[in-house]
Structure 1
């Protein structure tokens, strides 16, 4: 009897350098419909998520804390006026920060910055 996968795409992930036994076990598990996560990758994930949030690297390390805060608000959909009121900043200061953020993110439009910020997890809590 021939079976076909219920959904296309990857059934798992192994890191480069996985040994032959890991590869064979992964293929067998995937063929049985199981999700596969190689041991090396599982360790990396455990180490990353096992750290306290403060120890994890903040997104966009080139940004200052204030710029990251403003980018978070931009990604949450706040206008420059709303950001200024929230952070007790003048509209000109907010605009200057946004210009600096765009430069540091190597984007030319606010919408591009929002996409990058949301991909990094900013702007999603507000």
Structure 2
């Protein structure tokens, strides 16, 4: 299959969304199919706590929830009040079922998007 046809598949047996630092990742959601080369977005809401950081990063992770490995920074140094990170999916991201999104400025303030295994 050509790299342009590779897909990121957010499919779940168990999925959870963790909010910290006042953010909650709202998309992509469980079951979302995103092809390599697609232009897409990660979106979030700001909870009652509100953002505690002026700038955040949005990171794609791979692996089990107890051992997530950051594999690609989707957006870097963005204002959390924008509530979206738009990007082109890299062509070299392999098809897999265990991706998750992390956003925040520092690890202690990270919010985790849907994790699917």
Greater share of residues in strand = 2
Q: How does the TM-score come out when normalised to structure 2?
A: 0.23
Q: How does the TM-score come out when normalised to structure 1?
A: 0.22
Q: Which has the higher contact order (CA 8 A, sep 6+)?
A: 2
Larger radius of gyration: 1
